[in-house]
Structure 1
């Protein structure tokens, strides 16, 4: 896949078409009577001028030849039917889906949400809440009942009752019995969007009005707001505490003994592996995934981790509800800049409730762009067909559904029939929509049905509406085809055609030559006195192993040794190395001293096929491609308008 992405990047550079539209264009050349125009050629040439490293490709005659060759390959791919391949179609569809997001989202709303999210990210909010459950698709009566119940609780709080006490008593969040509704600190994108809005728009010390989320109604009290602490990476050693007092005492004694070992200089990582009872992190030296406020189940642990500094990186033993801990700071990560955060925030927006705002904004624009005028008589007859069986998923399509096949409404040039709408109604019975009465339910379904088809039509019509979108898709389409074609015709053949590769090598041997080479031992050290001793040992015939055993230990590497075969002029050879057998004197470069021992000298000569295979295969591919393009020029009829080309050359050279 990486190879394909790289190839597509290169071919799309070649095929790039600017957004600008040049009305004054002429036919530059044809392939089997299919025209290719001057404006595209000029844009491609100018766009790639700074990217081309080979000066010969800047020559316009040479560049035209390359450009014609590129278009010939695309024509060949289409002639072979590669555009019908399932993998090709799937990849093209995936790419189009990604590209279309830039045209099927509201960029203004997206930016506003990114700005809002980043601004909120600067603060951490400590909040408590009381939850009264009500399903997001509940009936109006049930929704009102939940709201009224929430308002009664709000009135109790306004009269001075303690929020935590009331939360433990009435909140339908199961955790409220233990935490009295306190959610700890959090920042943007940690809660559902509606709850986040309520929290960030409520002043410290006050209680919000009822906030509706998909879970129900919330009353939110803001306890504190502070600057975002970012994220922190730590390692910890944990000793679990048991319920009885004796085990609690044992756990505390154990963690204190471990702390003494740390003070005596023993390694934190080794003690974590040996003693920590957090099995998920002990084997990794106690290292935990980086985290921010509110991401762990223990606020005490988070606070202790964030309090550590480079000067004081290890905590004393401390207790949480889980046990006793010692924490070591690894690294702190402050909030990223806006630019560095933007793409990450856009991805988060696409995955949470905020995305509905973007979708709704686009939907409103499409409703204005593609207004729907439905056939009132046909619609009325469809409404009469839908019964209350829909709510129990028992409603069935009428036996004579074809009677409703007339056009119900249009979206652009697309006709939507009554039968299609009936099929849609049938498919939505298990969607959870419970709007009553049935007339209002059908109206809502019609609204959703029309919006879906507006979005579909808009997406499918992008090529007609946005020339730059059509251009980029054409580039990618050609690039994918070209990759498959090159793989089939050139790359695979160059790898498997051993006879052809050998014949090519026999005609090109003079291009693949070794310079004089030496097989050497190269010793280096920063200490000249050590190198004097090494030289003395080597003069006595000592081996590389003798040298390493003499001067190196597991903890200290005083002498570095590397061995290999090197060409004359190789940067790995110390300066001044002679291409002859024997032992050099000590040479110096920068802070290092070197000794070279040449054990073998290899004369200059031709490389074997295996020794130059990488470069050889690459050259063979270029050879095959050039011959193949020559064959394509015979297979297809290419006609270049030379007069037009001369005009183009003058235009570019101005």
Structure 2
């Protein structure tokens, strides 16, 4: 798969320049009467001009031949039916979906949300809340009752009652009984977006107006705001709190004994492995995944961790509701820059409630772009078929759908039938819509259905509306086919055709020849006096091991050696090395001194097939491809419009 991505990446890097192309187009050549135009040829030629290293490919005549060869291969792929392959279809669909995202979103709103998110991430907010639950699809009466209740609670606090006490009494968030509604510190993307907005838009010490989320209505009190502390990586040793009745040393005594061991110089990691009762981290020396404020369920632990410094990297023992801990600082990670955060923030936004703002803005644009007028008579007939069984997910479409098969509305020129809308209604029964009467449900579903149909039409029509999108898709479509075809016709064949490769080798021997080679041992050092002693030992036929044992120690390498076959002129050999058996004098290059001991000389000769196989396989692939293209030129009828080609040459020359 990586090879395919590299292949396609090189072939289609031209996509980024497509917006700038404004060439008029004429038919440059045909293959079996299928036209290929000058605009595509010029676009590819101009984009690839600085990428190719082979000067022949910059020659316009040569490049036309290459381009025709490329299109011949694509035609062959279609002729073989490779475009019908399931894997090909899935990969093409996946690529189109990814590419279409650039055309089916509101980039302005996305940037505004990225900016907002990054700015908010500079701060951490400590807030408390009170929640009155109400379903987001609740009936208006239930919604109003919840709203009035939260307003009443807010008034109690504004009139002087303590927020925490009222939270314990009234909040329907179960944790409020323990934490008095205090959520600790958090930053952007930690809470649902509506709640985050309420928190960030409320001054310190103030109580927000009711904030509606999918959970219900909240009022928020902002207790504190501080600079974001970033992320931190630590290791810890934890001793769990004792259970009642255990006749063992207390957790506090144990952690204090461990702390004494640390002060005596024992290693934190080993003590963590031996004593820590956090089984998930003990085996790793106590190392935890890096975290930021609000990610752990213990604010005490976070505060102790963030208080550590390089000068004081280990905490004293401290207690949390889990037990007793000692924490060691590994590293701190400040907030990333805007540019480094941008991709991550866009990804978070796509998975966050914020994405609705982008979708809503995009839908609003499409409503203006594709206004619709529904067939009122058909719509009313559909409304009459929908009844209260919808609320229990028991409603079914009418048995006779013929009278609903007409066009309910048009998106541009595309008709959307009433039958399609009825099927959509049935599919939405589990959306938990509680709006009443049922006609209101149908009305809401119609609006959503119309938005979906506009979006689908717009997506399907991208090739017609955006020439650059169509061009990129054409290039990628052909590239995928070409990869599969090349793999089938050339690459696999060159690897598996041992008989053909051997026959090709016999015709290419003259290109794969060894110069004179030697089997040699090379010795090197930066110390000339030492090398003189090495030379004496070599002349006494001492082995390489004996030489290295004499001059090298456990901590110091004074002499290096290597052994192998070296071709005349090899970089590894000192310059002017004599290609003959014997021991060289000491030579000098840069900071190093060398001695070469040649044991054997091999005369020039042909490389074996195995010795040149890598290069030979590449040459064989090129040979097969050239012959194959020649065969394709016979299989397909090609006609080049020479007059048009001359115009193209002039255009390139005058550029």
Matched with 1:399 is 399
Matched with 1:466 is 466
Q: Does 1:361 align with 2:379?
A: no
Matched with 2:383 is 383
Moved more, 314-323 or 557-566: 557-566
Q: Which residues in structure 2 correspond to 1:179-218 (within 5 Å)?
A: 179-218=179-218
- Give how far 1:285 is off: 2.5
The SS at the match of 2:430 is: coil
Matched with 2:292 is 292
The SS at the match of 1:129 is: strand
Cα shift readout 1:264-287 (whole Å, capped 9, x = no counterpart): 444333333333322222222322
The SS at the match of 2:25 is: coil
Moved more, 341-350 or 249-258: 249-258
Q: Does 1:230 align with 2:235?
A: no
- Give, in whole Å, the separation in 2 of the partners of 1:397 and 1:243: 61
Cα shift readout 1:557-608 (whole Å, capped 9, x = no counterpart): 6665555444444445566765555556666666666665555544443222
- Give, in whole Å, the separation in 2 of the partners of 1:155 and 1:59: 82
The SS at the match of 1:285 is: coil
Cα shift readout 1:27-86 (whole Å, capped 9, x = no counterpart): 222211222222322222222111111111111111111111111111111111111111
Does the 8 Å contact 1:17/1:472 carry over to 2?
no
Does the 8 Å contact 1:314/1:328 carry over to 2?
yes
- Give, in whole Å, the separation in 2 of the partners of 1:250 and 1:598: 74
- Give, in whole Å, the separation in 1 of the partners of 2:59 and 2:372: 56
Matched with 2:623 is 623
Does the 8 Å contact 1:133/1:146 carry over to 2?
yes
- Give how far 1:418 is off: 1.8
The SS at the match of 1:441 is: helix
Does the 8 Å contact 1:16/1:47 carry over to 2?
no
Matched with 1:502 is 502
Classify 1:490/1:106 alpha carbon distance in 2 versus 1 (closer, same or farther; 3 Å). same
The SS at the match of 2:325 is: strand
- Give, in whole Å, the separation in 1 of the partners of 2:228 and 2:121: 7
Does the 8 Å contact 1:523/1:560 carry over to 2?
yes
Cα shift readout 1:398-433 (whole Å, capped 9, x = no counterpart): 232212222211111111222222222222222211
Matched with 1:258 is 258
- Give how far 1:243 is off: 3.4
Cα shift readout 1:342-384 (whole Å, capped 9, x = no counterpart): 1111111001101111111111111111111111111112211
- Give, in whole Å, the separation in 2 of the partners of 1:529 and 1:216: 85
Q: Does 1:118 align with 2:137?
A: no
- Give, in whole Å, the separation in 2 of the partners of 1:438 and 1:568: 91
Classify 1:41/1:516 alpha carbon distance in 2 versus 1 (closer, same or farther; 3 Å). same
Matched with 1:318 is 318
The SS at the match of 1:430 is: helix
Classify 1:517/1:161 alpha carbon distance in 2 versus 1 (closer, same or farther; 3 Å). farther
- Give, in whole Å, the separation in 2 of the partners of 1:307 and 1:521: 59
Matched with 1:430 is 430
Does the 8 Å contact 1:104/1:459 carry over to 2?
yes
Does the 8 Å contact 1:241/1:247 carry over to 2?
no
Matched with 2:219 is 219
Does the 8 Å contact 2:242/2:250 carry over to 1?
no
- Give, in whole Å, the separation in 1 of the partners of 2:184 and 2:193: 17
Matched with 1:73 is 73
- Give, in whole Å, the separation in 2 of the partners of 1:511 and 1:155: 93
Matched with 2:49 is 49
Structure 1 vs Structure 2 CA RMSD: 2.7
Moved more, 300-309 or 211-220: 300-309
The SS at the match of 2:239 is: strand
Classify 1:352/1:402 alpha carbon distance in 2 versus 1 (closer, same or farther; 3 Å). same
Does the 8 Å contact 1:17/1:44 carry over to 2?
no
Classify 1:173/1:547 alpha carbon distance in 2 versus 1 (closer, same or farther; 3 Å). farther
Normalising to structure 1: TM-score of the pair?
0.93
Q: Which residues in structure 2 correspond to 1:124-139 (within 5 Å)?
A: 124-139=124-139
The SS at the match of 2:429 is: coil
- Give, in whole Å, the separation in 1 of the partners of 2:262 and 2:637: 81
Normalising to structure 2: TM-score of the pair?
0.93
Q: Which residues in structure 2 correspond to 1:604-615 (within 5 Å)?
A: 604-615=604-615
Unaligned runs of 5+ in 1: none
Classify 1:388/1:265 alpha carbon distance in 2 versus 1 (closer, same or farther; 3 Å). same
- Give, in whole Å, the separation in 2 of the partners of 1:554 and 1:234: 35
- Give how far 1:442 is off: 0.9
Cα shift readout 1:438-482 (whole Å, capped 9, x = no counterpart): 111111111111111111111101111111111111111111111
- Give, in whole Å, the separation in 2 of the partners of 1:563 and 1:315: 54
Does the 8 Å contact 1:16/1:44 carry over to 2?
no
Q: Which residues in structure 2 correspond to 1:137-152 (within 5 Å)?
A: 137-152=137-152
Does the 8 Å contact 1:28/1:36 carry over to 2?
yes
- Give, in whole Å, the separation in 2 of the partners of 1:532 and 1:219: 86
Does the 8 Å contact 1:16/1:475 carry over to 2?
no
- Give how far 1:539 is off: 5.7
Matched with 2:274 is 274
The SS at the match of 1:331 is: strand
Does the 8 Å contact 2:126/2:184 carry over to 1?
yes
Aligned length, in residue pairs = 654
- Give how far 1:313 is off: 2.8
Moved more, 155-164 or 368-377: 155-164
Does the 8 Å contact 2:21/2:43 carry over to 1?
no
Moved more, 319-328 or 491-500: 319-328
Classify 1:162/1:642 alpha carbon distance in 2 versus 1 (closer, same or farther; 3 Å). same
- Give how far 1:247 is off: 7.5
- Give, in whole Å, the separation in 2 of the partners of 1:150 and 1:13: 57
Matched with 1:304 is 304
Does the 8 Å contact 1:241/1:248 carry over to 2?
no
Moved more, 304-313 or 389-398: 304-313
Classify 1:216/1:562 alpha carbon distance in 2 versus 1 (closer, same or farther; 3 Å). farther
Matched with 2:371 is 371
Classify 1:413/1:633 alpha carbon distance in 2 versus 1 (closer, same or farther; 3 Å). same
Classify 1:425/1:639 alpha carbon distance in 2 versus 1 (closer, same or farther; 3 Å). same
Q: Does 1:92 align with 2:92?
A: yes
Does the 8 Å contact 1:204/1:225 carry over to 2?
yes
- Give, in whole Å, the separation in 1 of the partners of 2:387 and 2:297: 49
- Give, in whole Å, the separation in 1 of the partners of 2:588 and 2:260: 48
Matched with 1:154 is 154
Q: Does 1:333 align with 2:333?
A: yes
Cα shift readout 1:85-130 (whole Å, capped 9, x = no counterpart): 1111111110110011111101111011011011111111111222
- Give how far 1:523 is off: 5.4
Unaligned runs of 5+ in 2: none
- Give how far 1:553 is off: 7.2
- Give, in whole Å, the separation in 1 of the partners of 2:288 and 2:97: 37
